[in-house]
Structure 1
Amino acid sequence: MKEKILILAKTYPNLSRKYVETVCVAGITDKGEWRRLYPIPYRKLPFSKRFKKFDWIEAETQKNIKEKLRRKESYKVNSGSIKVIKNVGTGISRDWKERNNLLQPLVNKSLEELEVLKHNEKISLGLIKPAELIDFVLTPLAECRDWEKELIEGNQQTLFGKYKSPLDKIPWKLSYVFRCNEPNCSGHTLMCEDWELLESWRAWKEKYKTGELLWQKVKEKYFEWMKQRDLHFIVGTESRYNKF
């Protein structure tokens, strides 16, 4: 079926044995329904189809019936059918009015509420506003796969005969520590896989030569700066364990 979808989140590219290099995207339809679009070979798409956050796109989608957990929001997309329609901007005064009108009806009270909805209604995507941002932490990413071998295989020629730029591995987990707007919330630590965050890490490592300085700059932008903003998290369950 053909759907109109507003793109809200896009993960950093991941190497997959089955699909080579893919991106997972979260968005909502023009009917207000959540969509998880996967796999999308984003860096193989023609530039005219490379959508950004807050782009409305039109694409042919179908329920991903082969997904192990059969999450209700998971759909596959015909990447050749993707058409970028328009971008929802921040507004003349940068007040996010139009964006907020689209997002506010989606906001859940807490991660605890989403856990209840996951159990009762089988949801696996949601939007929450943390009551308190406590910390931003860096931990080594445990990796059992042979990344170097997959990196070589994943960066071969595309269908168009052109080489892609190498995909850098980010060897760390970057996680937010926060509390929800729930009296009994004891706090949560969730890894962030947002492309913008991890691309900043990748790009800035050439500018800030030491790991300590790089981490300082990333934390300034994505923790200290974010604490002063109207921060919301799009959260989704893992495909393997169905945990937020």
Structure 2
Amino acid sequence: METSCVAGISDKGLMRRLYPVPFRLLEDKQQFSKWQWIDVRTRKATQDHRVESYRLYVDTLACGEKLETKQNWAFRQHWIEQIPSFNSFDTIERARIDDGLSLALLRPKKVLKLKIVQAKSLEWTPEEKEKLMREQMQGDLFSQEDAERDIATLKKLPFDFYYHYLCETADGEKEYQHKIVDWEAGALYWNCFYKHGPNWEVPFRAKMEVDLPSKDLMFLMGNQHRFQHQWLIISLIYPPKPQPQEVTQFSLF
């Protein structure tokens, strides 16, 4: 992973989009993982006007506590409940139009299928290389020589992945499709490919279409800076399904 955009939540329960996070340049003690608190100084992004977007000062970054999955995700559930949560994508889009929302948690009613589409190009296009160069060099974190070398070794996913899913709306059930850009989905593809070769799709679909939807699957949605009406599934959150409350019956006699 190179220079990345990271979404998270503050200790005040506010969503934050942090950029740039130059993972290659982080010291070992600064290498943080998903579900880990970090302490870092930030300022509001000036070139990205989305309300949640901030730039960070990398030299101030320090890793903190990791939120474990113990007690049925109790440590994580508390913070999941702080994120703006919606049951329909239409309400997310309305909140974007009305309030400028650009990060939100979507709780789909049902995942219908996973669509796998071969990427238009197996190599980086000139436009993609230019964009990657801009992102790598933004903030003077990389020299042009460093950026060119990193892009040359950065593997492009040969497939795009989309979830088709249902949401409950005022007019009944409605189907949506959104692209999955969660880095974990990309890592899952490479793991399946290296272990199973041309048969990678079987275990990949088993995880994405069966295992994850069997949990309390949620989508962390984020929109794009230039085209803010276009949304992506930037992270998959999959706690276990809530356990049914035990009902104690009392005899009337």
For Structure 1 versus Structure 2, the TM-score category normalised by the shorter chain is 0.7 to 0.9
Instruction: Report the CA distance between 1:77 and its aligned residue.
Output: 1.1
CA contact (8 A) 2:8 2:17 kept: yes
Deviations 1:92-134 (A, max 9, x none): x4x0012111112322232111111101111100001110100
Further displaced range: 47-56 or 229-238: 47-56
- Which amino acid is the alignment partner of residue 29 of structure 1? S
1:202–1:147 CA distance, 2 compared to 1 (3 A): farther
Answer 1 or 2: which has greater helix percent. 2
1:66–1:234 CA distance, 2 compared to 1 (3 A): same
1:56–1:214 CA distance, 2 compared to 1 (3 A): same
CA contact (8 A) 2:4 2:23 kept: yes
Counterparts of 1:229 and 1:131 in 2: how far apart (Å)? 12
- Which amino acid is the alignment partner of residue 20 of structure 2? P
Counterparts of 1:148 and 1:77 in 2: how far apart (Å)? 24
5+ unaligned residues in a row in structure 1: which ranges? 1-12, 14-20
Q: Does 1:88 align with 2:67?
A: yes
Q: Which has the higher contact order (CA 8 A, sep 6+)?
A: 1
Q: Does the residue aligned with 2:101 lie in a helix, a strand or coil?
A: coil
Deviations 1:47-105 (A, max 9, x none): 211111110100011111112xx1111111112211111101111x4x00121111123
- Which amino acid is the alignment partner of residue 81 of structure 1? T
Larger C-alpha radius of gyration, 1 or 2?
2
Q: Does the residue aligned with 1:30 lie in a helix, a strand or coil?
A: coil
Q: Does 1:127 align with 2:101?
A: no
Structure 1 runs (4+) deviating above 3 angstroms are 146-150, 153-159, 163-166
5+ unaligned residues in a row in structure 2: which ranges? 137-141, 232-253
Q: When the two structures are aligned, how many residues end up with a matched partner?
A: 214
TM-score by length of 1: 0.79
Counterparts of 1:140 and 1:42 in 2: how far apart (Å)? 28
Q: Which residue of structure 2 aligns with residue 240 of structure 1?
A: 226
1:129-144 pair list within 5 angstroms: 129-143=107-121
CA contact (8 A) 1:157 1:164 kept: no
Q: Which residue of structure 1 aligns with residue 210 of structure 2?
A: 224
Counterparts of 2:157 and 2:213 in 1: how far apart (Å)? 24
1:12-31 pair list within 5 angstroms: 13=1, 21-31=2-12
1:206–1:63 CA distance, 2 compared to 1 (3 A): same
Instruction: Report the CA distance between 1:165 and its aligned residue.
Output: 11
CA contact (8 A) 1:73 1:124 kept: yes
Instruction: Report the CA distance between 1:148 and its aligned residue.
Output: 10
Q: Quick one: percent identity of the two aligned structures?
A: 26
- Alpha-carbon RMSD across the aligned residues, in angstroms, is 2.7
Q: Which residue of structure 2 aligns with residue 9 of structure 1?
A: none
Query: Which of 189, 197, 207 is equivalent to 2:195?
Result: 207
Instruction: Report the CA distance between 1:203 and its aligned residue.
Output: 2.7
Counterparts of 2:155 and 2:188 in 1: how far apart (Å)? 12
Q: Does the residue aligned with 1:98 lie in a helix, a strand or coil?
A: helix
Q: Which residue of structure 1 aligns with residue 50 of structure 2?
A: 71
Counterparts of 2:212 and 2:55 in 1: how far apart (Å)? 32
Q: Does 1:103 align with 2:89?
A: no
